[in-house]
A and B are shown apart, each in its own frame.
Chain A
Amino acid sequence: MRLPTALRGGVFVVLLVTLPMVGLQHWFLNLLVFVLMYATMSSAWNLVGGFAGYPSLGHAGFFGIGAYTIALIFKGHVLTSGYEPFLLLPLVGLVGALIGWPIALVSMRTRADVFAIVTITFLFVVQTLAFNLHGLTGGSQGASLPIAPFPAATFELPFYYVMAALLVLTMGLTFATMRSKVGLSLVSIRADEDKARGVGVRTTGVKVLAFSVSVGITAMVGAVWAYYQSFIYPQFAIDPLVTIAIVLMTFLGGRGTLWGPVLGAVILESGQQLLTYQLGAVQLYLIVYAFLFLVIILLLPRGILPTIEDRLRMRRRRRRTDASAARPGDRTPQNQSDSAPLLGGGAS
């Protein structure tokens, strides 16, 4: 049973909108905000890490850039409605994308491994800058944002809806990419970049574009997070663990799929919150997290959705061969439509 994608998307949006209306507790809404935050960032990472096969480990740097951008804009301001930071999100996204552009131009001269190294060092550059540029960021003392003047009873709601909107935007972009020439170009880069360039794919332009869009979205998420926290420190705003969480979620759900990163974020972020709640001590939590991490990669290297889809396809094919074995002579080559789709998992 496969629902048409439009219907699935519609159901998802309705679910997102109605979920907070059933009178949820504060802790649960807070959890949802974080799940949506990671879902959005994983989906954005998926554009460059999943489709183009460039595993960026520097996205948390752009998260921090977004957080500090919004903190700088609203330094010393008093908010009236509380929605002003949200209105300026596109500007933050633009800043992120503009910083990402030259970074991508330089770092994407390298391939997978080296690219990962370069981007992770970028992350540490941003962190060092955040610590050292006292005038802009407040250094290790942190930077404060105006506190959102929302009523305490529904404080999380505006953040929830903005994160949800960002997620829908990102998934819409992903869907559009998968349906377009850009998506095909990205996948061809992942498969074999030299051959792709040889047959006329504009590899540099496409991958740099994907990177800029991806980090722009990440910066916007960072800005919303900063406003939600209302006080940010360099070590939390630019955290290697955030990068790794994003990557892991995408890998768990399935790289290069539309729903995989969201699924991964839902599973891992709720699991993570539960773990920190249960285990308390940060250290034990690190060990459990690392084990979980290793188990996921060793047992499900391709992610949940592609694995399930493979199983389903195999079963369908087996059933069909059983059926055709029962009626010898009727050998239509039906299997062709079943060969693995180029854009991993099609619209799943």
Chain B
Amino acid sequence: MRTTDTLSSADRWEHIQARLGINRMLHRVKPGLYTLGEPDPDSPVFVTSNYKLSFDALRSSLKGMSAWILVLDTHGINVWCAAGKGTFGTNELVKRIALTNLRQVVRTRVLILPQLGATGVAAHEVKKQTGFKVEYGPVRASDLPEYMKTRKATAEMRRVRFTLLDRMTLVPVEMLGYALPTLIAGAVLYFLGGWFSALALVAAVLAGAVLHPILLPWIPVKDFSVRGFILGLLVMIPFLVASLTGSQGALWLRLLKLVPIVLGYPTVTAFIALNFTGSSTFTSVLGVKKEIYRYIPLMAWFLGISVVLTIGFAVAKALGG
């Protein structure tokens, strides 16, 4: 199969779709061996996943180069996540080398893999089973031209980052993912507490899906749940002020009305923030597990109390209280 180092407008349109999570499992490339330019048996062999964004990032980074590209079948999942699952793994690589007859097609016995593929591939195993030496290139395909000059990755090339741009790229898919649940819960809240409650929910969700990814490194708290809760509280300030100045009646009743604002809505933000751990590039299994055990029970209490109170206020209002 042949491919090129240039991206067409159709490619770019598909990238936008992928970034928005549209047809997200369908952005696939056929697994197998591709030629880029006019490779000879000594040209370098690059290995990638069959997720379109991964494949395109690789080929468009190899501008003007002649090379072989071995695409593994990762079911349309990117290299790092597929490596975590083992689909970008030793077995698939060994199998794909055999299926494509790579040993006969090329003379080189070196495969250049993306560094993040290392989570699924045991280099010494591949060497033992196929004779190919696995060489881990840089984390990012864009560093490949520099890497190919010396075949050595700098410490910087070996580090995963989570830049503002990386995080902003995730915002659309975050927002779209929470759109439907927010719409449904917002409609329910509108019937219970009017526009005030519905808007508070939207604010809380946006704080989790938009503000949290963007502001992540600048809020000096490590736990995602707590960071989310703080952000949730911040966006609740206008609602808090509105509730304090707008409501009448006994002091205890006015204070009780603040409970969902102080506990309930920020919990929504906290939960969304906790779910961002999977999108981040640095959270450990043990840490996330600790967060779940620490904060999920608390979140359930906060949310439960708030839901009961919100329903209570709505019932009282309907009864003319």
A and B together in one complex: no
Q: Interface residues, chain A, CB within 8 Å of chain B?
A: none
